[in-house]
Amino acid sequence: MVDLTDYLWIVWLVFILVCVIIELLTLDFTFLMIAVGSLAGLGANLLGWDWWVQILVAGAVSVLLLMLIRPVLLRLMAKSAAAVPPSNVAALIGMGGRVSSTIAELGGLVRLDNGETWTARLSPDRTQTRIDPGERVLVSAIEGSTAVVVPDERTD
């Protein structure tokens, strides 16, 4: 009769593969730590240890990695994510520009400092009703494809 524990290494490999796939989908480092712990269980299997020792080794290594390594990795990821500059529309907020076409109640055009030309309108909290071409403005918000601008009060 076939002893199924002789093929336990296949179970370890499949479990490691499943954990790595789940980790790639979640990016939370939990299943990565479990996969590495399972790799330790596979190592115990290759050393010929009993199945219950393999499970204990895999569990102990997984718990240690989850408690010691995962928090460090999460902190590093959060720190590097905070250093990423804003992109797309978020990068336009606060950007300066120069009015190309008079901005009045129906809107106008503004050429931003990054070279893009946007339709623009005045921010509703301003009392000013018109900005003439050549004047500096700051983008305070983006609504759809329109830049909401305020006059730039800095002196050149």
pLDDT in tens, 95-129: 999 999 999 888 899 999 999 999 999 988 877 88
CATH superfamily of 87-151: Nucleic acid-binding proteins (2.40.50.140)
Give the C-alpha separation, 146 to 70, whole Å. 43
Position 155 scores a pLDDT of 54
pLDDT at 53: 96
pLDDT per residue as tens digits for the range 48-63? 999 999 999 999 999 9
Q: Where are the domains of the chain?
A: 4-82, 87-151
Locus of tokens 């393999």: 54
Class of residue 9 by CB neighbours under 10 A (exposed 0-12, middle 13-18, buried 19+): middle
H-helix segments, the chain: 8-26, 30-46, 51-82
Q: Does residue 132 contact residue 109 with C-beta atoms inside 8 Å?
A: no
pLDDT tens, position by position, 67-90: 999 999 999 988 887 777 777 888
